[in-house]
Amino acid sequence: MNKILNEINSDRETQIFDCDVENDIALDEKYKRKNNPNIPDLAEGTVVRHYTALSRKNYALSTTFYPLGSCTMKYNPIINEKIASCAKFAEVHPLQPENTVQGNLEIMFELEKALCEISGMNNFTLQPAAGAHGEHTGLLIISEYFKSKKEKRTKIIVPDSAHGTNPASANLSGFEVISLKSEPDGTLSPDKLKEILTPEIACIMMTNPNTLGVFEKHIPEIAEIMHANGSLLYYDGANLNAVMGIARPGDMGFDVMHINLHKTFSTPHGGGGPGSGPVGVKSFLKDFLPVPTVVNENGLFKLNYKNKKTSVGQMKAFYGNFPVLLKAFVYIKSVGGNGLKEASVQANINANYVLNLLKDKVTVPAGNVCTHEFVLSSKGRLGEGVRTLDVAKRLLDYGYYAPTIYFPLIVEEAMMIEPTETESKQTLDEFVKVLSGIIDESKNNPEAVKNAPSKTPVSRLNEVEAARNPKLRW
């Protein structure tokens, strides 16, 4: 046995230390250790358990339910990750000649076609790296369009129920933001829109369903009003997960939109990325799209710079975040049109199920029917001195990552919940039971909630201090 082990160890050392370099460089004596390194002598099982235990201190979709609203922390099939990490994709260089990356270009071409079909738009660019980047790109397209018509349009209408990045993107793109207040039911009023509409308005940016989880029921009338004014409609696709396969923004009258592939089409979105925010336009705006675009010339896929003079330019190095594009393509092709619709339907069912279980515990500002997400208000419904933030912290003690809180800003003590389409009834029931229990606890034992979390590795931090003076090194 010892002889066999010695042979194995000898082979292993040969594999590890053998070098094909003809002239090995000898290490200078001054760099060599005089004593053995002070490495703990631990069994492999002990080391593995230590790092596995550390990993469990992180929240992840693989360990717990993520009820975040407005982020669509959806299921991300492992097969998509495997395909994206395949060497034939992962090791491609963006400067390779077009004839050597025909497969990549074909995927991008086919993805554009699929996004057009899903959205009702005529053309897409895959360059933008995230939703807000897509907003900026779309607004630059709108700006160039009006410049080409020699029209001075300097203002953009942004409803108070729109996605949070819309005002910033409008301002960054050189527009003045005009706010439009939503109605008590969470929707926009066409009559109020008319009151603020002027020839200077370039477009209205609408998130649909909006951040209250409400579908805008007056879109056809709003589209008619805006187009009669010569203005355009921009669709923020952050919540597309609620309507894909059911309704198309292009059919509603929208002229420009972005899609968050990392929210809707299977790419993990936690921790700030990676992302992709393709922008779709109606045909009259296609000449303003970023270059290059991918075209199919008799079966040969090429990068097209034809519209370079009218284009808004290149919005990202090379052609877009390809691994995210690839995962979105695989997801769309694997589930098909019926699968996309089923995902949206189930997302809406799950959200309404949870909403109806919680509506007697808290206030529901926008009614008892929602789409894929909903907003609650805990104002006046908790124990003395207890706030939404405390409830969110207490959820951590039960192993749940907290939902989005204090957004949208138009709802006091807001909590936004998005169950997504992939969670089981059992998971949703358990979450509702815990959240309901915390609400009751806030009245019976408010200090326990106000001092939460108590079971996590780190107790509640001073958030103001952490924001102003973050400790980035220990």
- Does residue 35 form part of some domain? no
- Residues 199 and 307 reside in one and the same domain: yes
Other CB atoms within 10 Å distance of the CB of residue 266: 23
CA atoms within 13 A on the CB side of 76: 22
CB 101 within 8 A of CB 257: no
How large is the average pLDDT for residues 77-97?
Answer: 90
Per-residue confidence at 81, pLDDT binned at 50, 70, 90? confident
pLDDT for the residue numbered 404: 92
- Residues 155 and 170 reside in one and the same domain: yes
Residue at a domain's end among 312, 335, 358: 335
* One-character DSSP codes across 367-384: -S--SS-EEEE-TTTSST
CB 275 within 8 A of CB 320: no
- Residues 360 and 442 reside in one and the same domain: yes
pLDDT for the residue numbered 384: 95
Domain count within the chain: 2
> CATH number for the domain including 314?
3.40.640.10
pLDDT for the residue numbered 353: 98
- Does residue 37 form part of some domain? no
pLDDT for the residue numbered 311: 96
- Residues 154 and 286 reside in one and the same domain: yes
> Is the predicted pLDDT of residue 453 greater than 60, yes or no?
yes
- Does residue 197 form part of some domain? yes
Per-residue confidence at 30, pLDDT binned at 50, 70, 90? confident
- Does residue 14 form part of some domain? no
pLDDT for the residue numbered 68: 87
Query: Would strands 256-259 and 232-237 be described as parallel, antiparallel, or unpaired?
Result: parallel
3 state DSSP class of 205: strand
Per-residue confidence at 472, pLDDT binned at 50, 70, 90? confident
Residues 114-135 pLDDT 10s: 999 999 999 999 999 999 999 9
- Does residue 32 form part of some domain? no
Dist CA 351 CA 369 (whole Å): 9
Vertex 31, ends 30 and 32: CA angle to 5°? 95
**Between 180 and 55, the higher pLDDT residue:** 180
> Is the predicted pLDDT of residue 8 greater than 50, yes or no?
no
Other CB atoms within 10 Å distance of the CB of residue 451: 13
pLDDT for the residue numbered 306: 86
- Residues 272 and 388 reside in one and the same domain: no
Per-residue confidence at 18, pLDDT binned at 50, 70, 90? very low
> Is the predicted pLDDT of residue 44 greater than 70, yes or no?
yes
- Residues 303 and 419 reside in one and the same domain: no
Dist CA 139 CA 120 (whole Å): 19
- Residues 231 and 212 reside in one and the same domain: yes
| Structural domain span for residue 426 | 337-467
- Does residue 201 form part of some domain? yes
DSSP 8-state symbol, 301: E
- Residues 331 and 341 reside in one and the same domain: no
* Closest to 237 measured CA to CA, from 375, 135, 339, 348: 135
- Residues 271 and 372 reside in one and the same domain: no
How large is the average pLDDT for residues 261-280?
Answer: 81
How large is the average pLDDT for residues 249-258?
Answer: 98
Residues 148-203 pLDDT 10s: 999 999 999 999 999 889 999 999 999 999 999 999 999 999 999 999 999 999 99
- Does residue 12 form part of some domain? no
Residues 384-443 pLDDT 10s: 999 999 999 999 999 998 999 999 999 999 999 999 898 999 999 999 999 999 999 999
> CATH number for the domain including 430?
3.90.1150.10
Q: Which residues lie below 8 Å from residue 438, measured CB to CB, with a gap of 6+?
A: 391, 394, 395, 398, 449
Structure pTM?
A: 0.88
Strand partners, 6: none
How large is the average pLDDT for residues 43-55?
Answer: 92
Residue at a domain's end among 335, 369, 394: 335
- Residues 251 and 342 reside in one and the same domain: no
For residues 180, 186, 192 and 197, what is the CA-based torsion angle, rounded to 10 degrees?
Answer: 40
Q: Which residues lie below 8 Å from residue 368, measured CB to CB, with a gap of 6+?
A: 355, 356, 359
- Residues 258 and 398 reside in one and the same domain: no
Per-residue confidence at 72, pLDDT binned at 50, 70, 90? low
Q: What share of the chain is helix, strand, coil (3-state, %, to 5)?
A: 45, 10, 45
Dist CA 208 CA 213 (whole Å): 8
- Does residue 374 form part of some domain? yes
> Is the predicted pLDDT of residue 2 greater than 70, yes or no?
no
CA atoms within 13 A on the CB side of 373: 32
Per-residue confidence at 9, pLDDT binned at 50, 70, 90? low
Per-residue confidence at 269, pLDDT binned at 50, 70, 90? low
Which helix H or strand E contains 303, and what residues bound it?
strand 300-304
3 state DSSP class of 191: helix
Q: Average model confidence (pLDDT) for the chain?
A: 91
- Residues 269 and 129 reside in one and the same domain: yes
Phi-psi region of 125 (alpha: psi -120 to 50; beta: other; left: phi over 0): beta
Per-residue confidence at 450, pLDDT binned at 50, 70, 90? very high
Residue at a domain's end among 335, 365, 397: 335
